[in-house]
Chains A and B, each alone.
Chain A
Amino acid sequence: VTLLEQNPRWRLVPRGQAVNLRCILKNSQYPWMSWYQQDLQKQLQWLFTLRSPGDKEVKSLPGADYLATRVTDTELRLQVANMSQGRTLYCTCSAEQGANQDTQYFGPGTRLLVL
């Protein structure tokens, strides 16, 4: 049974345009949801963990700005903006039962290609 759904699986992003990604949780027993990102040929990097509806966080990293929102108990969103031209970025969400020491499960991810 799939725990996390992410759509679309890939997107072409015109330079200068922001993109909004959604992560849908199919089992509310895994409420600790996180976003991770990965540049091509580099390590996966944790971005945010948001537990409760209404939680929001922002982060600026080299090559992109991120805004994460926990919309509901079952939906997590990520807005990615100001991406560098030519960049290939993979964004994936995860879910975990507790705050730590549990197994994290990941969604299929979305691959972004900036034109």
Chain B
Amino acid sequence: GQQVQQSPSSLVLQEGENAELQCNFSSTATQLQWFYQSPGGSLVSLLSNPSGTKHTGRLTSTTVTKERRSSLHISSSQTTDSGTYLCAPSTGGNNKLTFGQGTVLSVIP
């Protein structure tokens, strides 16, 4: 089955710095989503990006499908960005997302 590795496992930034999160997966993915998970557990969809580069606000995701990797860039980090970021690819033909362990981001003032 699909295996997902995210790095780094944790990251501490000063407010205003940029963050680069990585996601590597073992099988070809027809969809890939990045999520923010709040401390209470709720998931917020950030970007859907199965291939290429997508931007929304301060977020940029780049997925290289053939190399089975994706990255999430957060520019000008804010304290409210603190939380867990999850990468989740899915394989064609079903709705099953496979989640990584996540990157815990802490942004300090």
Chain A: residues with CB nearer than 8 A to chain B? 9, 32, 34, 36, 38, 42-46, 49, 90, 92, 94, 96, 99-109, 111
A100 in contact with B41 (CB, 8 Å): no
Question: Total contacts A to B, CB within 8 angstroms?
Answer: 69
Contacts A101-B31, A102-B31; is A49 near B41 (CB within 8 Å)? no
B28-69 CB mask vs A (1 if < 8 Å, else 0) is: 001101010000111111001010000000000000000000
Chain A residue, CB-CB nearest to B35: A106
Q: Which residues of A contact B95 (CB under 8 A)?
A: 32, 34, 49, 94, 96, 99-100, 104
Residues of B near any A CB (own CB < 8 A): 30-31, 33, 35, 40-45, 48, 50, 86, 88, 90, 92-102
Known contacts: A44-B86, A49-B94, A49-B96. The answer to whether A104 contacts B101 by CB under 8 A is no
Q: Is the interface of B mostly helix, strand, loop or mixed?
A: loop
Give Cα distance in the complex from A101 to B33, angstroms.
10
Which residues on B sit within 8 Å (CB–CB) of A107?
A: 42
